[in-house]
Structure 1
Amino acid sequence: MMNSTVISKAAAHWSSHQLADILSYCFEGYLVSFTIDGETFASRFGAEDISLNDSKVWVQDGEPKALAVITRRGQSSRLGAFAIRPELRGQGLGKQFMRQLIDEARARGDRNMWLEVIVGNDSGQALYERMGFVCQQTLVGFHATGSTQFRETGELLEIDPLTMAKKMLVDTHLRLPWLSTAETLYKLPGKAFVLNDVAYAMIIPVPHSRQFRLRMLYVDPAARGRGHAKELLIQLQERFPGLSTATAIPEQIAPLFLSSGYRQDPVTQYEMLLKF
């Protein structure tokens, strides 16, 4: 039983550094270890288009106990992160908080809400399903192993990330997770590359390390099926040893990565959608 009321406040009342601390604090005991610092919080969720007025912090006795990060684009919103302190879990508050977020999304005219949930977080997935979310696809991640030999046929050139984003934006058949869309990528603090004028990639540094993460791989539609993506993946891991990806790669693309000297990570996510 709760001893006092939990109230919600707009996340705009806190700084990025404070929100990062709150998020890390509320994720204690989560299925997958999670911590984030203020600079990374601002960079990551800024690129994902965080709405600080729509994001919520729930407070009990003056202490933050839960946080929901809401990102928005047009009439679509996304639950970018949702964490509740261990001592408040199992009391029905997750459903209460989610109902508030969904009601507010409907009230502002959103047509849908997206989220990702770690596979194995059965209680979280069950909550989202009860709220009406439906699984759309499985998202996976990879680490380069450097075990594949391949003859290079093109030169890897650095380009403006906005150039890559513009290429992706005009591809009307492209349907990517929120984390991998052009609208997210060009705002990240990274580098973009092109191979043979048709294959593109976005690389960002991993915070507080010397490692790098592949955030997107894109090939012009007319050039697909000719090995450009595989060569690009192999050249990237040669230039950036230990290269990894975010857990945001659609599972159906896994064979390309596996054949290019990458191993799949054990952590996977479900992308889920609620239509209003």
Structure 2
Amino acid sequence: MNGTVISKAAAHWNSYQLADILTHCFEGYLVSFTIDGETFATRFAAEDISLNDSRIWMQDGEPKALAIITRRGQTSRLAAFAIRPELRGLGFGKQFMQQLIDEARARGDRNMWLEVIVGNDSGLALYERMGFVRQQTLVGFHATSSTLFTETGDMLEIDPLVMARKMMTDSRLRLPWLSAAETLYKLPGKAFVLNDVAYAMIATNPQFTRLRMLYVDPAARGKGQAKKLITLLHERFPGLSTATAIPEQMAPLYLSCGYRQDPVTQYEMLLKL
């Protein structure tokens, strides 16, 4: 295998093909990863994938690496980056990352974000060499068999767009890409409101029920509304979990409600272009 590595826009492939390539490139990764075509299309569409800016690197006619780029305004994000085992440790990671950074600068992006799993020491070292700086740690949670409290109250189901718009009006709110309002309302699921101040977004599918986001109006914070809502959600959706996209500073809230923190955590990192 001595062929030259060439780069092509991901727009040349469909979602099912890209899902297969991404799964193939993640072989032997720190955490097992697979994705199907439908999930790929739904997830990355919500994250605002740019197929023209996403890249596949080919060698001898075979995909060997894939980078998924999502974009909003002058901010981009490396949503997924995977290299086949046979190309790892040969300097391709730095070469590919430099190409992505150069292209981001060329199109006028001002910031580039990514997440890396804690424990992926080689990936973290690469990103830090490229100039990315850790911003915060992201964690996930699973509900235990029972919560610590019993709550009464009526959650009203609302249009997820209503919750997203409420979050967008909060100028001080800065959430990770995966739990930002711009992502949430595009995903399949349900939204609920409690007492007109506490909001939650829920994703349901045959495999799991996931709490994607909690939001409480600024004037109502510190009054137990989030805890009440979490407890009511657990009563409605036993076995509730979250994605690994919760800022670590919110951990006390979940732990106080009887949730267990997942062992897998991520660093959110930023490169100012």
With normalisation by structure 2, the TM-score equals 0.98
**Contact 1:20–1:41 under 8 Å retained in 2:** yes
Could you list the runs of 5+ residues in structure 2 that have no partner in the other structure? none
2:252 equivalent to 1:255: yes
Corresponding residue for 2:270? Answer: 273
Go from structure 1 to structure 2 and tell me whether the alpha carbon gap of 1:146 and 1:198 turns closer, same or farther (over 3 Å shift): farther
Deviates more, 1:244-253 or 1:231-240: 231-240
Check 1:32–1:210 CA distance in 2 against 1; reply closer, same or farther (3 A cut).
Answer: closer
Counterpart check, 1:32 vs 2:31? yes
Q: In the TM superposition, what is the alpha-carbon distance from 1:157 to its structure 2 partner?
A: 1.1
1:208-223 aligned within 5 A: 209-223=206-220
What letter is aligned with 1:185? Answer: L
**Deviation larger for 52-61 or 151-160:** 151-160
What residue number does 2:7 align with? 8
CA contact (8 A) 2:147 2:234 kept: no
2:242 alignment counterpart: 245
Tell me the equivalent position of 1:43: 42
Letter in 2 for 1:261: G
Within the candidate set 218, 226, 231, 1:229 is matched to: 226
Give structure 1 regions of 4+ aligned residues with deviation exceeding 4 angstroms.
Answer: none
Retained in 1: the 8 A contact 2:133–2:269? yes
Cross-structure match for 1:169 = 168
Return the offset for 1:205. Answer: 2.1
Q: TM-score, normalized by length of structure 1?
A: 0.97
2-structure distance, mates of 1:11, 1:213: 29
Q: Secondary structure at the match of 1:50?
A: coil
1:211 touches 1:240 (CA, 8 Å); kept in 2?
no
Equivalent-residue separation in structure 2 for 1:114 and 1:151 (angstroms)? 39
54-63 or 234-243: bigger deviation:
234-243
* Partner SS state of residue 257, structure 1: helix
Given that 1:146 and 1:262 are in contact with CA atoms closer than 8 Å, whether structure 2 keeps it comes out as no
C-alpha distance in 1 between matches for 2:248 and 2:135: 11
Query: Is the CA contact (8 Å cut-off) linking 1:51 and 1:71 kept in structure 2?
Result: yes
Instruction: Name the Cα RMSD after superposition.
Output: 0.9
> Could you tell me which residue of structure 2 aligns to residue 54 of structure 1?
53
| Partner in structure 1 of residue 103 of structure 2 | 104
| Alpha-carbon contact 2:150-2:231 (below 8 Å) kept | no
Q: Which amino acid aligns with 1:135?
A: R
Q: In structure 2, what residue type is equivalent to 1:195?
A: L
* Aligned counterpart, 1:180: 179
- CA distance in 2 between counterparts of 1:63 and 1:149 reads 53
Post-superposition shift, 1:4? 1.1
Q: What amino acid is aligned across from residue 46 of structure 1 in structure 2? A: A
- 2:205 matches 1:202: no
| Alpha-carbon distance, 1:159 to partner | 0.4
Partner deviation per Cα, 1:198-222 (whole Å, 9 max, x = no partner): 100001124xx34211110000000
Q: Distance in 2 between matches of 1:171 and 1:220?
A: 9
Shift of 1:241: 1.2
Which amino acid is 1:273 matched to? L
Distance 1:24 1:102 in 2: 23
Q: 2:269 is matched by which residue type in structure 1?
A: M
Amino acid at match of 1:22: I
1:273 to partner: Cα distance: 0.1
Shift of 1:37: 0.3
Letter in 1 for 2:253: L
Alignment of 1:111-150 (within 5 A): 111-150=110-149
Could you say which residue in structure 2 is the equivalent of 1:158? 157
Taking the aligned partners of 2:147 and 2:115, their CA distance within structure 1 comes to 31
TM superposition shift of 1:235: 1.0
Q: Unaligned 5+ residue runs, structure 1?
A: none
Aligned residue pairs total 273
Aligned to 1:154, the other structure's residue is in SS state: coil
Distance 1:148 1:103 in 2: 49
Is 1:264 aligned to 2:257, yes or no? no
- The answer on whether the counterparts of 1:142 and 1:263 sit within 8 Å (CA) in structure 2 is yes
